[in-house]
Amino acid sequence: MTDVTQEQILEALKSVKDPSCNEDIVSLGMIQGLQLKEGHVGFAIEVDPERGPSLEPLRKEAEQAVHALPGILTVTAVLTAQKAAGGDDHSGHNHDHGHDHGHSHGQPAAEQPLLPDVKSIVAVASGKGGVGKSTTSVNLALGFASQGLKVGLLDADIYGPSIPRMLGVAGTDPESADGKMLEPIKSCGIKCMSIGFLVEEDSPMIWRGPMVMSALEQLMRDVNWGELDILVVDMPPGTGDAQLTMAQRVPLTGAVIVSTPQDIALLDARKGLNMFRKTEVPVLGIIENMSYFSCPHCGERTEIFSHGGAKKTAAQLGADFLGEIPLDMAIREKADAGDPIVASVPDGDHAKAYKAIAAKVWEKVETLTESAGPGLKIVVD
């Protein structure tokens, strides 16, 4: 395969002209966040918010120009816009949000199905980083798969993608039969996709909020997920613009909050829970991770981060407590090794705990999807 440089990509993009001034999009400084990894290319095209809906042909032309280079396997270009002066919405659009699986958010210029064959979407979120959210996401997804469900896992943490490593598929290049739709990577019986497959593992993602959301939309729309019973979304930590936009623009079936037991983590967990409630996304419950530590030598139990705080917080906020997961070296070691505990030790106590939580979540999901009616339709404007 011929090695292509960023300079060659930019030279190819100079053939694409902005129709408003007939100048090329590189000279105009419209190309942002260019990433190149082993034949896979990604970049953003920064445009005026008001022109965004009319520039889809320009985006496609840019993708085609780069794809024509020898050695290029896939190209992902996204349109992004800075916040308009005096505007309130970071994406350049205003959205009226109501949680109805059969409707679109706001008034879309044209309906573009993101995940037409996905029956339910569950976000796994935390108010802060470092609470084991990604480890929980992976093992919950495997817990769903153990019930015979068709499961997908979307790594929505653009700035710190960890799912590829946790599933033992880091460094894998997604395939594409037509150069447009990526095939998800399969591991441990589930399908997964992450920006980590498309950029170098140690490459920093210096992207603004709108660019992040555009990338996430393409990881949903331009990936051949196929029929899924449930798509688990490993959300970015915190409650910033990316998280809020995701909650507003993707009709989530529900959200699961992950927290450790100590007070400072629970304060952030409350923020995460309230964010979903304000955007009318059902909160399925709270999981207490790193709940306690049992010494592998003497069996003595130590509550390093306190214990029971998540259960107490759930009761105070009127949310369900889904269960607790201990702080255990085996869970951490298996995640680091790309051999998650639910897959590698399926009959162990830790796997049973994850599976029990997954069963509770799926029961709630079934109730919500039945009450919403058939035909989950996700659109983006």
Whether the pLDDT of residue 245 is over 60: the answer is yes
Q: Could you report the per-residue pLDDT of 139-153, keeping only the tens digit for each?
A: 999 999 999 999 999
Residues 281-302, mean pLDDT to the nearest whole number? 84
* Average confidence score pLDDT of the chain: 80
Q: Does the pLDDT value for residue 5 go beyond 50?
A: yes
Q: E strands of the chain, at which residues?
A: 17-18, 23-24, 31-37, 40-47, 74-81, 121-125, 151-155, 185-187, 190-194, 230-234, 254-259, 283-289, 293-294, 301-302, 321-325
Strand, helix or coil for residue 98: coil
pLDDT given for residue 207 in this prediction: 58
For position 380, what pLDDT does the model report?
A: 37
- Both tokens of residue 358? 């997954």
- Coil, strand, or helix at residue 318? coil
Q: What is the mean pLDDT of residues 184-197?
A: 93
Taking the C-alpha atoms of residue 309 and residue 33, their distance in angstroms, rounded to an integer, is: 41
pLDDT in the model for residue 81? 64
Q: What pLDDT, on the 0 to 100 scale, is given for residue 203?
A: 60
In this predicted model, what pLDDT tens digit does every residue of 120-129 receive, in sequence order? 999 998 876 7
Cα 174–170–116 angle (5° rounding)?
40
State the pTM of this model: 0.70
pLDDT digits (tens, 9 = 90+) for 61-115: 998 999 999 988 888 887 776 533 333 333 333 333 333 333 333 333 344 557 8
